[in-house]
Chain A
Amino acid sequence: MPEADALPVAAPQKIDLAEDFQSSGVAEILRELDEELIGLAPVKQRIRETAALLLVDRARVKLGLAHETPTLHMSFTGNPGVGKTTVALKMAGLLHRLGYIRKGHLVSVTRDDLVGQYIGHTAPKTREVLKKAMGGVLFIDEAYYLYKPDNERDYGQEAIEILLQVMENHRDDLVVILAGYADRMDKFFASNPGFRSRIAHHIEFPDYTDAELLRIAETMLGRNEYAFDTGGRDAMRAYITARRALPHFANARSIRNALDRARLRQANRLFEAGAPVDAQTLSTLTEADISASRVFGGGLAHERSEG
């Protein structure tokens, strides 16, 4: 039937966004994000908004409305240990489910992976990393180290130029996420306007509150089948408050390190006691394991003398 051939393929008249939300797997990722990450309410909100935008955009494409590929490059700013890398990983999964990146893997790099040691070394090195990240997300941690204003011959500038070019020309092939401390990222963007204009989503990661950190500590322990007793929990609460006041506080990462050390002390304590142990004793961290920390004495000796 020649008449039928001439007709365009019928576009769907209606799209059920809620149905799309479930079937694309986006709902699942957002649920994982909610369950696995404690706190970070503003970040979760932003990601939900981004997901909604992309879903609507996809629906518009299906209905044949005008659209252009949205710019998806992002910057994650926040203090260390607030979950930037973890969220980037989820973001890669999200963009993959929505079909904006083809493979959905995350390539995490720092300045060392992009910038070379001598003339002519930087370009191949940066391109190598970019090629590996194609089809996925390139996560550049502490991106501001790429730009060193005090040294105009620094090879970082070359890496920046290649990055900008690929971010523009290969928008369909990869998504770049820059991460780092908020104040230094601001300075970085101010001196590299090319980056600012190519990044559509700026997401700020707030610090965790003390209560959130305590919950994080308990989740971390739970994963390894450990738990606090009542005294241990109180000591941990005091520890978090004390640790925050000290230099080099890295949110969840500090907590993880503290717990590792507490487990060390617990093992020593049980070993020196020499008494037979049961599963309950083996998996309980008590007050003694936490309060032996140097943090309560005002931190390490060299840090005390500084402050």
Chain B
Amino acid sequence: MRITQGCFSFLPDLTDEQIRAQVEYCLSNDWAIGIEYTDDPHPRNTYWNMWGNPMFDLKDAAGVLMELDACKKANPDVYIKLIAFDSTRGFETVRTAFLVQRPKVEPHFTMTRTDVAGRSMNYTLATVQP
């Protein structure tokens, strides 16, 4: 199942050139870029693995792409996303995040309905790895 999470996820996957342009945009706003990866794209899985520390004080996208290449090389078949953190007082939060790599075969989700007290129903969503 094609996962749609973060910015641009309903568009075709970004090319390297487009990723570079997005990173340039983030850096021009003085946002710090972090690289994160996971094999579990469950919507409630907020904490992905970090690839190194978020990168502050960069001037050019080449530095981010160098790290991204290293991350892709080490983790060729997982989800990788770039997140841009805005440290401006009042924001202090992630301003954008987008996927830059997907596994070749994506996992899907399964939903379990459980009858509980009365006529209530509990729903559980779980990731099913291919």
Binding site for B on A (CB under 8 A): 102-103, 105, 124, 127, 130-132, 134-136, 170, 173-174
Contact = CB atoms under 8 A, between A and B. Distances in A.
Nearest to A166: B66
Interface residues of B, number: 12
A174 to B, nearest CB: 8
A81 B59 CA distance: 28
A144 to B, nearest CB: 26
18 contacts: A102-B62, A103-B59, A127-B66, A127-B67, A131-B55, A131-B63, A131-B66, A132-B57, A132-B58, A134-B59, A134-B60, A134-B62, A134-B63, A134-B66, A136-B59, A170-B62, A173-B60, A174-B62
B64 interface: yes
Interface string B73-113: 00000000000000000000000000000000000000000
Contacts, number: 39
B62 A136 contact: no
A102 B24 CA distance: 11
Interface of B: 52, 55, 57-64, 66-67
Task: Report whether over half of chain A's contact residues are helix, strand or loop; otherwise say mixed.
Answer: loop
A173 B62 contact: yes
Contacts of A174: 62
A279 to B, nearest CB: 43
Contact of A124 (B52, B64, B66): B52
B52 A135 contact: no
Tell which of B52, B62, B66, B67 has the most Cβ of chain A within 10 Å. Answer: B62
A132 B57 CA distance: 6
A134 B59 CA distance: 7
A132 B63 contact: yes
Contacts of B67: 127, 131
